[in-house]
Structure 1
């Protein structure tokens, strides 16, 4: 017994007319009769009662009709699902970002991507944000969450996600609550070794006429928070880093009104920006509108 036989049987069970079913499903009446006879032989009982005037279902035929509805319903549903999967976007898109960005900006994007494109998987790498653009240029990943900078040349595409302000932090035990309390000659500063924050902070020092007393240059904003918490010096870090740091309770925020923010966004090769998987990721961020 196959799906075609069940389809013919189901239609006949509804029409109760051999000629009508044969015409509707494009078989000859004799072929339809042979198929029904074969089904009855396989079941070992009559499925229809026939006479010169009418065709009716037997009790066994009614049970077979329910079985045919169930099986064909499952089969048709499976076919629809398989066709839908063939038209759905599917594949893997790789992304690089800092640990902080993976906590602050990625979760909502990933959730929406999973809902709208369940066949798409995201391969995530985390690390120092200073290397975000390099990973894209060297084709180690499709997309990175990077900071807008002069490194983003014409062969790269950048889509802004958010403006991120920098905040100044001090060891809590120093009890510094304002810029006026800072003695720049004696209070050391922990600076970022690389990345756009370094340029923004040095530009601010220049505008203020301050010659900072550098305690150390370290890699990664999270490391700056840790060193400030340990009492090594003052520091400047992106607000989202401090918001997600486990050491945030051990430092004090010092208000600084005129230090610039930087722009965080998706970065990819310009040649890849219209690839369906990359575009799907960008669209999710656009819909969320950070």
Structure 2
């Protein structure tokens, strides 16, 4: 055994004997992926000072600094990179241990999910219904927010599974199960005289205010369409999320593009109209995402099996 590997095992053994705190490991792992003390503090329900003390305690036990910190960024030290590999494995082994020590007939643990409000009301209910029926011992932690943040939530360990639109380029580290497809619709206020039309019936983009999403797949696709048509839009506002965009259009502030699924589930659907002059945009492919390495976790694996089962059942229907 080379010196470096022997030293690493010494760190791990020392840490395991003196701390035996899987909570500290979980906190370290989150910070090692997010590289953001504020984000990890919020995600782990810790005060900034408590997070700092936890990391310092691990560093003191190992005798090595794990993070390099300055006013602008956080990064892993060489020791932190080495320890991260073992910390990931320790967290996964802990989950397996809980399963082996628990009731073999029931799955225990927790799973963190992230999706938009629309996905939470339209796609997730059937999946969670089946999963809870088969695995009542699993605690489900659900967060909702802008679908454009879904992959970042995965990479930052804020969520283990997300329900989101498939990006145009999916990272190799992400597993994806398609659950639905929804077209992108060009919407306008039901009242308010928008969009402004020229004499030939085409949209006057100079006079028509446009509401755009700040980020995400719909923004990418509408920007590309506008660029291809050499249209300089009259941008009224940029908002976070499809639900906010639909609300702005419903209030008569401008026109915009939203997925049909969002429109169908929105309480504001009667306040907008689908414009017959619709950009031809590729539809959203919506599904469940998780990092491939998460599939070694029995709870995530069980949820992934449920996703496939629900998908197969819906395909048969």
TM tier, shorter chain? 0.5 to 0.7
User: Where in structure 1 are there 5+ consecutive unaligned residues?
Assistant: 1-83
Deviates more, 1:97-106 or 1:121-130: 121-130
3-state SS in 2 of match to 1:237: strand
How far apart, in 2, do the equivalents of 1:232 and 1:257 lie? 19
Q: Is the aligned partner of 1:207 residue 2:228?
A: yes
Q: Is the aligned partner of 1:229 residue 2:247?
A: no
Deviates more, 1:236-245 or 1:273-282: 273-282
Structure 2 residue aligned with 1:135? 153
Does the 8 Å contact 1:95/1:124 carry over to 2?
A: yes
Structure 1 residue aligned with 2:305? 283
Residue 267 of structure 2, aligned match among 223, 246, 270: 246
Cα deviation, residue 181, structure 1: 5.6
Cα deviation, residue 284, structure 1: 1.9
Structure 2 residue aligned with 1:198? 219
Deviates more, 1:218-227 or 1:271-280: 271-280
Describe the superposition over 1:119-167 as per-residue Cα deviations: whole angstroms up to 9, x where unpaired: 2231101111121111111112211112222563222222222222111
Structure 2 residue aligned with 1:145? 163
How far apart, in 2, do the equivalents of 1:178 and 1:185 lie? 9
Structure 2 residue aligned with 1:268? 290
Describe the superposition over 1:205-256 as per-residue Cα deviations: whole angstroms up to 9, x where unpaired: 2333432211111111111111111111101011111112121111111143
RMSD of aligned Cα (Å): 2.4
3-state SS in 2 of match to 1:266: strand
Residue 208 of structure 2, aligned match among 187, 191, 195: 187
Deviates more, 1:87-96 or 1:171-180: 171-180
Count of equivalent residues: 208
Mapping of residues 41-80 of structure 1, within 5 Å: none
How far apart, in 2, do the equivalents of 1:111 and 1:121 lie? 13
Structure 1 residue aligned with 2:108? 90
Does the 8 Å contact 1:133/1:152 carry over to 2?
A: no
Cα deviation, residue 95, structure 1: 0.4
Structure 1 residue aligned with 2:51? none
Does the 8 Å contact 2:209/2:253 carry over to 1?
A: yes
Structure 2 residue aligned with 1:16? none
How far apart, in 1, do the equivalents of 2:193 and 2:253 lie? 14
Distance 1:216 1:228, change over 3 A: same
Structure 2 residue aligned with 1:157? 175
How far apart, in 2, do the equivalents of 1:190 and 1:264 lie? 23
Task: Report which of the two structures shows the higher radius of gyration computed on alpha carbons.
Answer: 1
Mapping of residues 8-47 of structure 1, within 5 Å: none
3-state SS in 2 of match to 1:174: coil
Does the 8 Å contact 2:195/2:208 carry over to 1?
A: no
Structure 2 residue aligned with 1:103? 121
How far apart, in 2, do the equivalents of 1:250 and 1:168 lie? 14
How far apart, in 1, do the equivalents of 2:300 and 2:256 lie? 36
Does the 8 Å contact 1:176/1:252 carry over to 2?
A: no
3-state SS in 1 of match to 2:104: helix
Cα deviation, residue 194, structure 1: 0.7
Cα deviation, residue 99, structure 1: 1.0
Cα deviation, residue 177, structure 1: 9.1
How far apart, in 1, do the equivalents of 2:256 and 2:158 lie? 32
Does the 8 Å contact 1:176/1:182 carry over to 2?
A: no
